[in-house]
Amino acid sequence: MEFTAEMIAAFLSGEVVGDKDIKVWTIAKIEEGAPGSLSFLSNAKYEHYIYDTNASIVIVNSSFEPTAPIKATLIKVEDAYSCFAKLLELYAANKPQKKGISEKASISDSAILGEDCYVGEFAVIGDNVKIGNNCKIYPQVFIDTNVVIGDNVTLYSGVKIYDETNIGNRVIIHAGSIIGADGFGFAPNEKGEFSKIPQIGNVVLEDDVEIGANTCVDRATMGSTLIKKGVKLDNQIQIGHNVVIGENTVCAAQVGIAGSTKVGSNCMMGGQVGLAGHINIGDKVQLGSKAGISNSIADGEVHMGYPSLPLSKFSRSNAVYRNLPSLSSDVHQIKKDIAKIKLEIEK
């Protein structure tokens, strides 16, 4: 489909600077822009690209003022990044949609599927499963017994949903993720071995949750592991049994959260953050990449490092750490000076 600058500006409530009739039919990064492509600029670090880009249209912040001539037509908006995201949504919505139920899928007679669902080859849908409207179940997805899935849910290839899981509306789960596997529960016995503790709870994913590829969310020992509305989990994340993650919290790749930890709303976790079990993380907490969290954290705090420290303490400690080589040399020199003074005193 083709769109003119005028049409895009109207959709985004923006202002056209340049040729309002110029057309685009594809999307590209600003450094890779070609004639007929639409791009955006929101980060000042990339500003130099806008003066050489061959993109036909570039979306920019309304505050942007060029320092050199620009070939592209500009569309000025309040927030270039969020507006470009809206266009990506529109672009994705216009792509051909998967439809129909494959004859090679295995669907239990007791399963209930809503209207306009897609089920791909070799997908397996178990007994008493309930799936809402307009869901997309890609090839080789496995959905076990008594699972409930809301409307507009997408399960990509190879997703495994264990029994009793409850999934809300507009949830997206990417390839290879496993929802509802047993929590890591074992107890030592008199023989010095570990006996398995049955995991009889489930997993609940509320509305608008997105889970990246190869992420695992374990079922609760009892009750529910709960991922609340709007949570976004990246690839290769481990969520332990009975964990609760509050609304609109985001976690980058390889985060690990141990069992029974409670995470608040609107938190942000960088890659490879690790949380010990049975602790509480408040609302709006930010955890820097590779932070190791062993104790509870109050609302609004920013922590970094292992073991983690509040940002101000971490910054001071890190300044000392960077200077350790010279500090070590200074200490050795002081020891030598003290030894010389002792010798002189003894004389």
| pLDDT tens string 3-25 | 999 999 999 999 999 999 999 99
CA separation for the pair 147, 171 (Å, rounded):
14
Q: Which residues contact 327 (CB under 8 A, 6 or more apart)?
A: 320
pTM of the full structure: 0.84
Residue entry with tokens 């570039």: 58
CA neighbor of 113 nearest in space, from 147, 87, 83? 147
278 among known catalytic residues: no
SS3 assignment, position 82: helix
pLDDT score for 309? 79
241, 278, 303, 332: the active-site residue:
241
Reported residue count of the chain is 347
pLDDT in tens, 84-115: 998 888 777 777 888 899 999 999 999 999 99
